Amino acid sequence: MTLTTKQYTRLKEQFEALADPVKAIKMSAYMKNHFAFYGIPAPERRKQYAAIIKDAKKVKHIDWELLDLAWKQPPREWHYFVCDYLIRLKALVTIDDLPKLDHFIRTQQWWDSIDQLDEIYGELVSRYPELKQLMLTFSKEPYFWIRRLAINHQSSFKENTDTHLLSQIIIANRRSQEFFINKAIGWALRDYSKTNPLWVSDFILTYNKQLSSLSIREASKYL
């Protein structure tokens, strides 16, 4: 039995032992019943795979086989495991891993997972500036979760935010009728307003007739 198989089997046993059908129903309902759940609260869930992540960090190796196996499982807790794993090991992710990441961002998606995976892309863009073009391409994707990732990938950049890129991405989505896109636009602007409120104020003023009221309301929270 390989290490990957051992870790997967052990984690599956732990998840199943902690399954709570009552909580599972509530958690699934919160996600509009798009996913099944074991019903494990986040703190307890993370305890179950803390050692796996710790060991991976120690040997500085991402087990993509384990992540792919986990991602295929229906219960949402597996997808959260993949997101937590990648965030903790994001320094080890390289531009060569983009094909692997692409599978994750195009499947099993909802706001709770895409809003974690965008952090991985933010890390990559900060190290590989040439990926800014990929973010522009993502901003025009038919699949709106990919567009949301592009909008939010700079959320933690603060003074390192590329405002030209942020502007281009938002402009490409400014007339969207999709709630999750308009919400993301508002959040991206709101986050940057903590660093540069004047720029955000000017942007809202310039595009106020084209941005949704939701985007403007979220963006103006700290102005």
Predicted pLDDT at 40? 99
Q: Are 101 and 85 in contact (CB under 8 A)?
A: no
Instruction: Tell me the pLDDT tens digit for each residue of 97-141.
Output: 999 999 999 999 999 999 999 999 999 999 999 999 999 999 999
Q: Are 185 and 155 in contact (CB under 8 A)?
A: no
Residue listed under structure tokens 């919160």: 30
3-state secondary structure of 154: coil
Residue 1, pLDDT above cutoff 80: no
Predicted pLDDT at 94? 98
Q: Which two tokens stand for residue 25?
A: 């129903």
For residue 6, what are the contacts with CB-CB under 8 A and spacing of at least 6?
Answer: none
As a whole number of Å, the CA-based R_g of the chain is: 19
pLDDT mean over 22-29 = 99
Q: pTM above 0.85? A: yes
Instruction: Tell me the pLDDT tens digit for each residue of 76-96.
Output: 999 999 999 999 999 999 999
Q: Domains of the chain (ranges plus CATH)?
A: 1-92 (1.25.10.90), 131-223 (1.25.40.290)
Phi, psi of 75 (to 5 degrees): -60, 135
pLDDT mean over 43-66 = 98
Residue 5, pLDDT above cutoff 80: yes
pLDDT mean over 41-61 = 98
